[in-house]
Chains A and B, each alone.
Chain A
Amino acid sequence: MTAIIDYGVGNLFSLTCSFDAIGEKAVVTSDPEVIKKAGRIILPGVGAFGDAAEKLRKSGLDRVLKEEVAKGKPLLGICLGMQLLFEKSYEYGEYEGLGLIEGEIKPIADVIPADYKIPHIGWNALIFRNDDGGLFRYIKEGDFVYFVHSFYAAGCEKDTAAVAEYGAPLTAAVVKGNVYGTQFHPEKSGDVGLAILRAFCEREGPLC
């Protein structure tokens, strides 16, 4: 079973449906006991970093996530959920993240040419970089996934599994041990996205 973390950020309907589509059981939850019993965890998220990080802290879920990751349980952060895995974000201020992956969240505008539109929205091709931890086992380099974001993860080259080219190579996926993150939305990336979720679901951590 996969626990999809519900901390009041974003819309989980499509994400839940995508698990149904690949035949995997998923539960939307904020209950630490349910999260502890899950084989793996998804941290979704849409919106502003500061607000989301605050909600994780207030609910105590930040601690639960760190504990489960320390036990070896696979965690996949999606979009803002991926950004929250990092140490720090500069989105409208300066906020601390979960610190599970080294690096910082910065505005795309810092690195792309001025005539590129922001947000980076639409379908872009994955360019593979370092170890993908098995996440891409069912897809190929050059496959397209769907992005919507104005900030990106910087300073995480060694944990970067894929980038997307948008006037600059933008971090598209990160993998560090049992911690995974995708800047794109696998639940909105057609068959390629579902194949990535299927690969993630083959990872399982201690169920306790």
Chain B
Amino acid sequence: MITKRIIPCLDVRNGRVVKGVNFEGLNDVNSPVELADYYSRCGADELVFYDITASSDGRKLFTDILCETAKKVFIPLTVGGGINTTEDFDRVLKCGADKVSVNSGAIRNPSLINEAAKLYGDQCVVISADVKRVDGVFRVFAKGGRENTGMEAIEWIKRCVGNGAGEVVLNSIDTDGVKKGFDLEMLDAVCNAVSVPVIASGGAGCIEDFITLFKTLPKVDAGLAASIFHFGEVSIKDLKQSLANENINVRIQR
């Protein structure tokens, strides 16, 4: 059977990994290439690289880093951040990315998903949605969680999947950085709305949070986190062993 995936996320700015709490107060953590290699050896099932650089210099640095990583790390790599056109897809796919996640780029230009899916296949296109409750309604936020688009999130995600997105990363702004567990209510709503894989993001603070995630919502395919892995609060090896002990199907390396 297919395993639940554990995915460390590396936010990269100017060639270094950073992680913000509620998207603010960024800290420089480590070298992306070293971290990626380390995680791969620890049993990470996939890696997500988010380019949070705005400048073209930073972008060049990011693709260089991506290439360096792809030369050393032989697990699936997903890239996001600054993806606005199919040329951006091309740029990162040539550097070793397997999947490309779009967020603000798809909000600005909803046909982006459709165009990219036609060129590279559905399996290559990931919709990443930053979602926050506003007056009891799930709303899609843009620009790294700073701008409320006013769009209702479940409808937006359904539309993206209908256009060809092959996977959904759901990042709950409400639970992100709080470390009190994933946003189960929000995830449940998304899992019931789409039939493609759903990756939970935002809120993981300890191993128990992943166990709760997969036990409560068996439809969720993967759990994504950043700082708890980067700062060594949760080791991927221990996490996967704990999940296996709970009879959750994971890939254990021998």
Residues 166-183 of chain B, each 1 if its beta carbon lies under 8 Å from chain A, else 0: 110000000000000000
Contacts of A122 in B (CB 8 A): 2-3, 5, 45, 197, 221-222
CB distance A20 to B123 under 8 Å?
Answer: no
A-B contact count (CB 8 A): 79
A95 interface residue (CB < 8 Å to B): no
A70 interface residue (CB < 8 Å to B): no
CA of A76 to CA of B121, assembled, Å = 23
Interface residue tally of chain B, by bracket? Answer: 20 to 34
- B4 and chain A: residue at smallest CB distance: A122
Within the complex, which residue of A13, A17, A47, A187 is in contact with B94, where a contact is CB–CB below 8 Å? A13
Within the complex, which residue of A13, A121, A166, A194 is in contact with B167, where a contact is CB–CB below 8 Å? A121
A94 interface residue (CB < 8 Å to B): no
Of the listed residues B40, B74, B95, B96, the one surrounded by the most CB atoms of chain A closer than 10 A to its CB is B74
A11 to chain B, nearest CB (A): 5
Known: A17-B96, A18-B74, A191-B253. Contact between A119 and B3, CB under 8 A? no
> Chain A at the B interface: mostly helix, strand, loop or mixed?
mixed
B158 interface residue (CB < 8 Å to A): no
A144 interface residue (CB < 8 Å to B): yes
CB distance B71 to A144 under 8 Å?
Answer: no
Known: A47-B121, A117-B196. Contact between A123 and B5, CB under 8 A? yes
CB distance B76 to A146 under 8 Å?
Answer: yes
Contacts of B3 in A (CB 8 A): 122-124, 144
CB distance A188 to B40 under 8 Å?
Answer: no
Within the complex, which residue of B67, B74, B254 is in contact with A140, where a contact is CB–CB below 8 Å? B254
CB distance B2 to A166 under 8 Å?
Answer: yes
Contacts of B222 in A (CB 8 A): 122
CA of A117 to CA of B96, assembled, Å = 26
Contacts of B75 in A (CB 8 A): 146, 188-190
CB distance B195 to A190 under 8 Å?
Answer: no
- A166 and chain B: residue at smallest CB distance: B2
CB distance B167 to A14 under 8 Å?
Answer: no
Which residues of B62-113 are within 8 A (CB) of A?
A: 67, 70-72, 74-76, 93-96, 98
Of the listed residues B2, B40, B45, the one surrounded by the most CB atoms of chain A closer than 10 A to its CB is B2
CB distance A123 to B74 under 8 Å?
Answer: no
CB distance A11 to B45 under 8 Å?
Answer: no
Residues 169-208 of chain A, each 1 if its beta carbon lies under 8 Å from chain B, else 0: 0000000000000000001111101100000000000000
B251 interface residue (CB < 8 Å to A): yes
What would 18 A/B residue contacts be, using CB atoms closer than 8 Å?
A11-B93, A11-B94, A13-B95, A17-B71, A119-B166, A122-B3, A122-B221, A122-B222, A123-B3, A123-B45, A144-B3, A144-B251, A146-B75, A146-B76, A147-B2, A187-B74, A189-B74, A190-B253
Q: A-B pairs with the 6 shortest C-beta distances?
A: A144-B251, A123-B251, A122-B2, A17-B71, A123-B3, A13-B96
